[in-house]
Amino acid sequence: KAGVTQTPRYLIKTRGQQVTLSCSPISGHRSVSWYQQTPGQGLQFLFEYFSETQRNKGNFPGRFSGRQFSNSRSEMNVSTLELGDSALYLCASSLVGSPTDTQYFGPGTRLTVL
């Protein structure tokens, strides 16, 4: 079974630009969560999608948004990039998003904002 894939793996942008990251979950998984990982703040929950609906949201500004398609693939968008958005963005998929499900993480997208 193929794992969670994320594209692109690396991205360099400048302040003020916007970026879209993509995540393909494991086949059959309907829940996709997004996280931001930085050395200072660790791994922080952004949002979770299930059946094309945002079901849970973390404490991030509205510049961070996402969506999920009918095939469970998900995209995350960050608008008006700031230097502090430089981070590793991870997505994770699970069967239905229950805490007793195993979350499988992708390798991440390393975003650098200059």
Partner 1 sequence: SQKIEQNSEALNIQEGKTATLTCNYTNYSPAYLQWYRQDPGRGPVFLLLIRENEKEKRKERLKVTFDTTLKQSLFHITASQPADSATYLCALVPSGTYKYIFGTGTRLKVLA
112 touches 9 (CB < 8 A): no
For the bound state, the minimum distance from the C-beta of residue 97 to partner 1, rounded and expressed in Å, comes to: 6
Which x/- pattern, by CB under 8 A, does the window 8-47 give for partner 1? -------------------------x-x-----xxxxx--
Number of residues that bind partner 1 (CB under 8 A): 25
45 touches 35 (CB < 8 A): yes
CB count within 10 Å of CB 25 equals 27
102 touches 4 (CB < 8 A): no
Of the candidate spans 13-21, 66-74, 75-83, 99-107, the one that interacts with partner 1 by CB under 8 A turns out to be 99-107
